[in-house]
Amino acid sequence: MKILHLDSSILGDNSASRALSAETVTHLKNSHPEAEIIYHDLAAQPVPELGSGHVGARFGAEVTDEALQADLARGNAFIDELIAADVVVIGVPMYNFTVSAQLKNWIDRIVVAGKTFRYGDNGPIGLLPEARRPF
């Protein structure tokens, strides 16, 4: 079993969402001692906002900027981790009635047409394995 665990709160040890996500992962690990855990602290290692270069690259533009190349590779790794995960646990704080910018930036990296969804006649269709179960 592979567990993808993300935390996105900027409050560190004072974060309720971090405590809850850690408790959930501990429960899963106790139930599945063989589980591999992939962890990302999106506040400690933030994902930059999308820029025009990201969008251009997704539409086939040549990427010559090394920093952009590295960021695109990081985003592709996030997609690979998501696809490989059996369980995804996300510590999600609410700031100003929405998710944190740190989490939103990660979401922007994994929502990629042709990789995690496709456009159908009636709108977007998810491409991730349907065997995922909510926890």
Please state the φ and ψ torsions of residue 26, each to the nearest 5 degrees: -60, -45
Half-sphere CA count of 21, side-chain side, radius 13 A: 24
φ, ψ for residue 30 (rounded to 5)?
A: -65, -35
How does pLDDT run across 21-80, given as a tens digit for each residue?
Answer: 999 999 999 999 999 999 999 999 999 999 999 999 988 899 999 999 999 999 999 999
Confidence of residue 133 (pLDDT cuts 50, 70, 90): low
Element (H, E) at 85: none
Question: pLDDT digits over 65-112, tens only?
Answer: 999 999 999 999 999 999 999 999 999 999 999 999 999 999 999 999
Q: How many Cβ atoms sit within 10 Å of the Cβ of residue 108?
A: 15
Assess whether pLDDT exceeds 60 at residue 132.
no
Domain 2-126: give its CATH code. 3.40.50.360
What's the pLDDT score for residue 131? 55
